Amino acid sequence: MNKTDRIVIAGAGGFIAGSMVSRLAGEGFTNICAVDIKPIEQWYQTTEGVENVSDCDLKEKDNCYGVAKDAVEIHNFAADMGGMGFIESHKAECMLSVLINTHLLMAARDVGKVQRYFYASSACAYNTTLQKDTSVTALKESDAYPAMAEDGYGWEKLFSERMCRHFREDYGIETRVARFHNVYGPFGTWDGGREKAPAAISRKVIDALDKGNDQIEIWGDGEQTRSFMYIDDCLEGVLKLTRSDHADPINIGSSELVSINTLVDIVENIASVKLNRNYKLDAPKGVRGRNSDNTLIKQVFGWEPSLPLREGMVKNYDWIKTQYEARKAGETVVE
């Protein structure tokens, strides 16, 4: 790509997409269009020298055609989503994100000169019957079929993956699809109901310390297992995939499997505190276990996400602490 080629980043007011805008601008790309449905003051980060298009609902076809004009590359990170507390209670809203991918693909076909189209899928697309044990076998790409995705959000992701495939086969659009496994890091949602476990636990520990409370609430029994990938590893994987010749969906995730209890241990260690744990067994908790099989990504790129969880969580905790303290001081922060 030329540094002046137009790159459209959908969902740029959010965590991953906003970080990608910053990464690409830092690499010297000068024609970046960052798009989000939220007002600009609600974006997690903005980057100098970027065309920021706010209050733009990409579920609307005309908006997709407008931003895609002259685009050489499109990255679709846009989705109505959050942690388990959100996606288990907003399934219809999550499903409506299919309109974003559909209309962006149509725009790429009709009005752009798109060379590459990236779609951010999720490990929620995997067959849930394979994720019923805490010592789960790591999920390889073929495990998405026979299909039995996470209800709502996962089915939208799986369907949109197929849309990308068929637009590639029928119209020649070079689509690339990554299945993310729990991305975390600075500039992510950390309060309000959409946050994921690394942010939620960090905030709860910070709040307990601030209020002199010795309790922490954990959803489920804490034995459910996941892997968590730091944002820098995620961005590196996306760019490797987008610019490559690998066309099929691929895992981008850490293979470091931990329980939620272990994640709490890590955050407590970072904060030098030990809290009493209250387990909320009726809370949304998702599948019992999920991990990323990185055989394919290592085979294709000779690389995999590798930042140790504790190292990433130090950065995550420190950033959330600054946001928590700023909010407490009366400053306006994006949560």
Active site residues: 153
In angstroms, the CA 86 to CA 99 distance is 19
With H, G, I as helix, E, B as strand and everything else as coil, classify residue 160: helix
Instruction: Identify the bridge partners of residue 23 per DSSP, sorted by sequence position.
Output: none
Distances (CA, A) of 77 to 21, 32, 66: 11, 15, 17
Q: Reply yes or no: is the peptide bond before residue 146 cis, omega within 30 of 0.
A: yes
323 within 8 A of 190, measured Cβ to Cβ: yes
* Pure H helices in 38-97: 61-68, 84-87, 91-95
With H, G, I as helix, E, B as strand and everything else as coil, classify residue 215: strand
Shortest CA distance to 77 belongs to which of 170, 188, 152?
188
